[in-house]
Amino acid sequence: MKSFEDKINEINELSRSYNLKENQRICNRCKDILTSENNYDLKKCSCGYLSIDGGNESYLRILISE
Ligand SMILES: [Zn+2]
């Protein structure tokens, strides 16, 4: 069973391999690329696993739902 931190690391590593920006992440399940433009811009991928929020204005928040 993977920890929450492992899942975040997987997403961060995959996103890095795609050369995504600091305010972007890719879902490792549906391969949707999400871009959060600002602090109130919550984006969710099409399979529902990954959400990001926070944009460039603060630290990027990464949310995972099984
Ligand atoms: Zn997804």
Question: Which one, of 63, 65, 60, 19, lies nearest residue 38 by Cα?
Answer: 60
Residues β-bridged to residue 58:
none
Each residue's pLDDT tens digit, 14-48: 999 999 999 999 999 999 999 999 999 999 999 99
For ligand 1, the distance from its centroid to the CA atom of residue 50, given in whole angstroms, is 6
Two tokens at 55? 């944009």
Read off the pTM.
0.92
Which H helix or E strand runs over 63? Answer: strand 61-64
Q: Residue 66 has what pLDDT?
A: 85
d(CA 40, CA 3): 27
d(CA 57, CA 28): 25
For ligand 1, the distance from its centroid to the CA atom of residue 29, given in whole angstroms, is 5
